[in-house]
Structure 1
Amino acid sequence: MREIVFDTETTGLDPQGGDRLVEIGCVEMLNRVPTGAVFHAYFNPERDMPAEAEAVHGLSASFLSDKPKFAERAAALIEFLGDAPLVAHNAGFDFGFLNTELAKIGMEAVSRDRMVDTVAIARRKHPGAKLSLDALCSRYGIDRSHRTKHGALLDAELLAQLYVELMGGRQIGLELAADAVAVTETMVAATVSVSRTFRAPRPHAASEAELARHAEFMAGFSEPLWSR
């Protein structure tokens, strides 16, 4: 099954109030294994960058000023997404910005039926726990030491690892068990197929001389417990 894990960075929290999408990162997975195929783009938001947003992702208006507008990369993005389920952390936020940008250029919205929200999955698995990406990566031992600021592609890559864990992991133990069964069957088959020459057992009883030395040794004990 093909799935796309994605994340976005924006100028703020409200796409209907004028905030814009400035970065998107997408990671392709097949059967919950990353294929190495990604889509990553920065967008010129055609507006200023609030200081509080820049503090989160580090993307300044100056840095984004020469990047393509969303409309210039939209077709390539939609092609990469295809018809796969779309996995995001707090997915309603990311879908809101993506669909607002698509609406601005007259393109069809991405159906929310395709939305897979890892926050909702984590809430069911860990009620009452912290549900941020950082907190969940710590819970599952996912290395995020290189994450100094939010970044759409980096966060999508971390989320892909987290998604696998939230869905039960890759069940490596079962795979190893299957391998062990295969190896055992091979060994049994090999053992059955080998013809062996019968060899009579070697004598193993003590000799008369050995019995005499043992009796002499035991006589050296005075009042042994076993003779009471």
Structure 2
Amino acid sequence: MATRFVVLDTETTGMPVTDGHRVIEIGCVELLGRRLTGRNFHVYLQPDRSSDEGAIGVHGITDEFLLDKPRFAEVADEFFEFIEGAHLIIHNASFDVGFLNNEFNLIGQTHRADITQHCSILDSLAMARERHPGQRNSLDALCKRYGVDNTNRQLHGALLDSEILADVYLAMTGGQTSLSLAGNSSDGANEGGAASRGSEIRRLPAGRRPAPVIMASAQELAEHAARLEVIAKSAGAPALWTQLLQA
């Protein structure tokens, strides 16, 4: 069975959460293995407080726009059901997790107030810093580095940023820079019926022979497996390589 990932982002009234700031938007997209399923979770929330001017400048969500939106308590069950048991992919995870835990606490759902007990967390910012030390690793910087289209991102938005982060995550972990919907066909669909979103197939120049494939030895495979076990014990979760093989 394919591994279920949920790429998640939030927008807030400001920061930090300890100053009473609240979540005003949640956006999630679901991946099974390395394909979008088309299942999303997206909601704007009434925070019962005003947003900082600086925060509005980042996401463009005004207090007036949120007046008729539901409160977190009204969507908490649906949201939790969407993320429960998934591998959450979040850019700068401590920020979003801290705010979401606070929201569950505020409505008295203390059994859900630590989502790390119900989901595993993959922090794409930490992953990017490990791969690109000393470089800028914001979402925009990663889009530029990996060739991910973010031209529609004039302002931050939880659902749009989740979709972009999904592309970035795939590029960082496997070289694929464009997602496709599993089982959804359209003009230009690739093999297997998945619709392509601007992917490019690169072919060798005429007359050029592909490089030889050198298989790992039994000893190398054993050493690799042992290393993955060490990583899993240290992290308290399967290594990313193991998760991708199971996807």
Regarding TM over 0.5, the answer is: yes
- Which residue of 2 is the match for residue 164 of structure 1? 170
The code of the aligned residue for 1:148 comes to: Q
Matching of residues 19-38 of structure 1 within 5 Å: 19-38=21-40
The question of whether the paired residues in 2 share the 8 Å contact of 1:44 and 1:69 is answered with yes
If you compute each CA radius of gyration, which structure gives the higher value, 1 or 2? 1
Whole-angstrom distance in 1 between the partners of 2:29 and 2:177: 21
Whole-angstrom distance in 2 between the partners of 1:119 and 1:40: 22
The structure 1 residue matched to 2:137, chosen from 131, 136, 148, is 131
- Which residue of 1 is the match for residue 76 of structure 2? 74
**Distance change in 2, residues 1:24/1:89 (3 Å):** same
The structure 2 residue matched to 1:111, chosen from 116, 130, 134, is 116
- Which residue of 1 is the match for residue 127 of structure 2? 121
Whole-angstrom distance in 1 between the partners of 2:177 and 2:150: 23
The code of the aligned residue for 2:76 comes to: A
The offset of 1:97, in angstroms, is 0.3
Whole-angstrom distance in 1 between the partners of 2:108 and 2:177: 44
The question of whether the paired residues in 2 share the 8 Å contact of 1:11 and 1:49 is answered with yes
Q: Which runs of 5+ in 2 are unaligned?
A: 179-200, 202-247
- Which residue of 1 is the match for residue 66 of structure 2? 64
**Distance change in 2, residues 1:62/1:130 (3 Å):** same
Greater percentage in helix? 1
The question of whether the paired residues in 2 share the 8 Å contact of 1:10 and 1:23 is answered with yes
**Distance change in 2, residues 1:171/1:130 (3 Å):** closer
The question of whether the paired residues in 2 share the 8 Å contact of 1:58 and 1:149 is answered with yes
TM-score (norm 2): 0.67
The code of the aligned residue for 2:59 comes to: H
Whole-angstrom distance in 1 between the partners of 2:7 and 2:67: 27
**Distance change in 2, residues 1:85/1:141 (3 Å):** same
The offset of 1:129, in angstroms, is 1.0
Identity across the alignment (%) = 49
What SS does the corresponding residue of 2:76 show, helix, strand or coil?
helix
The code of the aligned residue for 2:101 comes to: N
What RMSD, in angstroms, separates the aligned Cα atoms of the two structures?
A: 1.7
- Which residue of 1 is the match for residue 11 of structure 2? 9
The question of whether the paired residues in 1 share the 8 Å contact of 2:47 and 2:71 is answered with yes
Whole-angstrom distance in 1 between the partners of 2:34 and 2:127: 15
The question of whether the paired residues in 2 share the 8 Å contact of 1:16 and 1:100 is answered with no
Q: Deviations over 1:92-124 (max 9, x none)?
A: 100000000011112222116611100111011
| Runs ≥4 residues deviating over 6 A | none
Q: Which runs of 5+ in 1 are unaligned?
A: 177-228
Matching of residues 182-221 of structure 1 within 5 Å: none
TM-score (norm 1): 0.73
